[in-house]
Structure 1
Amino acid sequence: MKKMNSIPLICGLLSIAAFLIYFYSANHAPYSYIDIIVLGPVFSFVGIIFSILTRKTRTLIWWLGLLLCILGFLICIMVFMILAIFLIS
């Protein structure tokens, strides 16, 4: 069960890492890794699902994982919204 508690933390870290890789690639030529932003919400969503499944065994790792997943999800959705605004205008 301890391994299940760390899955949200791992997924949250992966979603934040996906955003950081996107941010670096979007600001440096040849822009080859900008498609990784699609993985951010996927990792965050999977982490949130595992947080819901393991909510009965709340530990510090569980809370950190849940917060990172929510933060990663919000950041990636914000990027999608900004990209949509640029696409529309």
Structure 2
Amino acid sequence: MQEKISANKILSSIPLMFGILSLFSFVIYFYSANHAPYTYIDVIFLGPFFSFVGIVISIITRKSRKIYPALWTSGIISCMLGFIVCMLVFIVLIMLMAAK
């Protein structure tokens, strides 16, 4: 007999997925920035978007943090980490452009 996954667990895992996507977009950007064709550099703009959406969904589903505390906490931490990393990349890029 299989247990059905509750809707609260699915909603609680969405911020974690968005956090992982934002960190993955940074990895793709970092790889593309260090290899010759530089074709996927624009993917860094998706990182803050995914992080922001994940943080908003975390705020909306904050009632489920009592039911699934580890899942909710890891989701919001990964979203915040992805947002901070992408913003630091933007700050460095702006500083490099201003130095020229």
TM-score of the superposed pair, with normalisation by structure 2 = 0.87
The count of corresponding residues between Structure 1 and Structure 2 is 89
What is the match of residue 66 of structure 1?
76
Q: Which has the higher Rg, Structure 1 or Structure 2?
A: 2
Matched residue type, 2:17: I
Counterpart mapping for 1:1-89 below 5 A: 1-58=8-65, 59-89=69-99
Deviation at 1:61, TM superposition (A): 1.0
Once the two structures are aligned, what percentage of the paired residues are identical? 55
Displaced runs of 4+ in structure 1, greater than 2 A?
none
CA offsets 1:53-83 (integer angstroms, 9 cap, x no match): 0111112111101000000000000000000
For structure 2, the residue ranges without an aligned partner over 5 or more in a row are 1-7
The whole-number CA distance in structure 1 between the counterparts of 2:34 and 2:61 is 38
Q: CA deviation at 1:45?
A: 0.2
> Alpha-carbon deviation of 1:85?
0.4
